[in-house]
Amino acid sequence: MPYPPQPTSLTATALSSRPVVLGVDLTSAGARPGAHRARGPIAPCPFDGERFLHLVRTAERGLLDFVSLDEGFLLHPGRSQVTGRLDTAVAAARAARVTAGIGLVAAVDTVHVEAAHAALALSSIDRASSGRAGWQAVRQGTLPESDDAWATRVELGIQSVTRVWTGRPGGGAGAVELDAEGRFRVDHDGVRFAVRGRPAGGAPLPRTPPPVVVRVRSEASAALAGRTADVARIAVTDAAHAVRLRRLVRDAALSAGRDPEDVRVLAEVYVVLSTERAGARARLELVEALEGTASMGDGLVVADTPDELATLIADWTTVGAVDGFLLRPSSLSSDLDTITDHLVPALQHAGLFRTERTKTTLRGSLGLPDAATAARELPTGRLLSA
């Protein structure tokens, strides 16, 4: 596997008005695709809720902006199929109760879940966390589809959920009618039971919608992110490609009447970290031999020291390739500790990352506007081309 060119040193850089955005993907805290295979004397545990919360707290200790739970947050993978799936919204809501500053981004599908129900679930996380929720818009389908078709369908879901958040009518096909307090009416008459009226316990709608995250795979999804997202996740292997995708996202935002500065573009990077480069490379080769490369994704792979990763982050952000990075630790236990205890201090020493948490919401941490975003109208129309 090719590795990125290694810069020679990390030069001190004055902290800009907006520091580097850093998130960590904890999707594999559910279970790795190959976790059912026992390797060694102790069989791996499919999922441990307390361990998951410990990982979130570790990321918070490192002052990271957010943790993300992608659509692959699995409960227990069988030998031929997935036998269960963890609810990202439930996991994020649980983490909201035991954290105080880190953002919690959950991938919630709007195909198998009504848009109004998805909006209310995310609103519950936002309320429990005092404004630290985020939503990664996904559309889980059973059949493969082109990226253009995927982007079109995801946009419909974003529009439906956002209409619920902002209280606008027409939340999309199948949307649930809500009252002024964000509660929905249950009206069922069946063989076994009958229910009438509005149940108590509906989550109030947020004053400001949680940030929307969109995964960018092509020009179509880049245009979608520019029109509708607050954060764009890009999977690239070099800075030049990142520059191009970031430009597409920002141009789409401008064409949609949005301020391009209100969209953060983050590069995904699969990291294997060690105090010595040789040790990191050896561990990466072991992971490749045991599990293959599919779990690493299509983005950048870095097997190196924390200082070298800090240098790469500095180089990419200095040239304007990205606004930050979404780190995907190969080993959640060791690599996440290394990120918190060594990578973050290296970035702080270079003046690229905060030394204390001064914002209490995810929007504030990302440097995104509040009131203006809450009242925005999502543009509609054809997808933009590059």
Instruction: Dump pLDDT digits (tens) for 119-162.
Output: 989 999 999 999 999 999 987 666 678 888 888 889 999 999 99
Tell me the whole-structure pTM to 2 decimals.
0.80
Question: What mean pLDDT do residues 313-328 have?
Answer: 96
Query: How would residue 291 be classed by pLDDT, with cut points 50, 70 and 90?
Result: confident
- The answer to whether residue 71 is domain-embedded is yes
| Domain of residue 229, residue span | 21-37+55-166+212-374
Dist. CA 253–CA 251, nearest whole Å: 5
- The answer to whether residue 48 is domain-embedded is no
Q: Identify the pLDDT of residue 356.
A: 94
Query: How would residue 347 be classed by pLDDT, with cut points 50, 70 and 90?
Result: very high
- H/E stretch holding 115 reads helix 115-128
- The answer to whether residue 318 is domain-embedded is yes
Least confident of 161-165, 305-309, 365-369, 375-379: 375-379
Question: Is the pLDDT score of 321 beyond 90?
Answer: yes
Question: Is the pLDDT score of 202 beyond 70?
Answer: no
Query: How would residue 113 be classed by pLDDT, with cut points 50, 70 and 90?
Result: confident
Transcribe 367-381 into DSSP letters. Answer: T--SHHHHTPPPP-S
Question: Is the pLDDT score of 26 beyond 60?
Answer: yes
Dist. CA 340–CA 336, nearest whole Å: 6
Q: Identify the pLDDT of residue 106.
A: 94
Considering only residues 348 and 51, tell me which one the structure prediction assigns the higher pLDDT.
Answer: 348
Q: Identify the pLDDT of residue 185.
A: 52
Q: Identify the pLDDT of residue 169.
A: 55
Dist. CA 250–CA 246, nearest whole Å: 6
- The answer to whether residue 110 is domain-embedded is yes
Q: Identify the pLDDT of residue 16.
A: 46
Q: Identify the pLDDT of residue 10.
A: 56
Dist. CA 148–CA 154, nearest whole Å: 10
Q: What is the DSSP letter of 178?
A: B
Q: Identify the pLDDT of residue 140.
A: 66
Dist. CA 325–CA 327, nearest whole Å: 6
**Given the structure tokens 């050896």, which residue do they identify?**
282
Least confident of 12-16, 297-301, 351-355, 381-385: 381-385
Dist. CA 139–CA 109, nearest whole Å: 5
**Given the structure tokens 């590795």, which residue do they identify?**
3
**Given the structure tokens 């953002």, which residue do they identify?**
103
Q: Identify the pLDDT of residue 273.
A: 95
Query: How does the average pLDDT of the chain come out, rounded?
Result: 80
Least confident of 11-15, 57-61, 280-284, 337-341: 11-15
- The answer to whether residue 158 is domain-embedded is yes
- The answer to whether residue 380 is domain-embedded is no
Question: What mean pLDDT do residues 57-62 have?
Answer: 96
What does DSSP say about strands 212-216 and 66-69: parallel, antiparallel, or unpaired? unpaired
Q: Identify the pLDDT of residue 242.
A: 96
- The answer to whether residue 334 is domain-embedded is yes
Tokens of 77: 């993978």
Considering only residues 289 and 8, tell me which one the structure prediction assigns the higher pLDDT.
Answer: 289
Considering only residues 348 and 292, tell me which one the structure prediction assigns the higher pLDDT.
Answer: 348
Query: How would residue 3 be classed by pLDDT, with cut points 50, 70 and 90?
Result: very low
% of the chain with per-residue pLDDT over 70:
71
Considering only residues 65 and 173, tell me which one the structure prediction assigns the higher pLDDT.
Answer: 65
- The answer to whether residue 259 is domain-embedded is yes
What does DSSP say about strands 21-25 and 324-329: parallel, antiparallel, or unpaired? parallel
Query: How would residue 292 be classed by pLDDT, with cut points 50, 70 and 90?
Result: confident
Q: Which distant-in-sequence residues (6+ apart) come within 8 Å of 190 by Cβ?
A: none
Number of structural domains, the chain? 1
Q: Which distant-in-sequence residues (6+ apart) come within 8 Å of 370 by Cβ?
A: 208, 361, 363, 364
CATH code for the domain of 334: 3.20.20.30
- H/E stretch holding 317 reads helix 306-318
Geometric angle at alpha carbon 366, from 182 and 334, rounded to 5°: 105
pLDDT tens across 209-263, in order? 899 999 998 899 999 999 999 999 999 999 999 999 999 999 999 999 999 999 9
**φ and ψ at 377, to 5 degrees?**
-100, 130
Q: Identify the pLDDT of residue 297.
A: 84
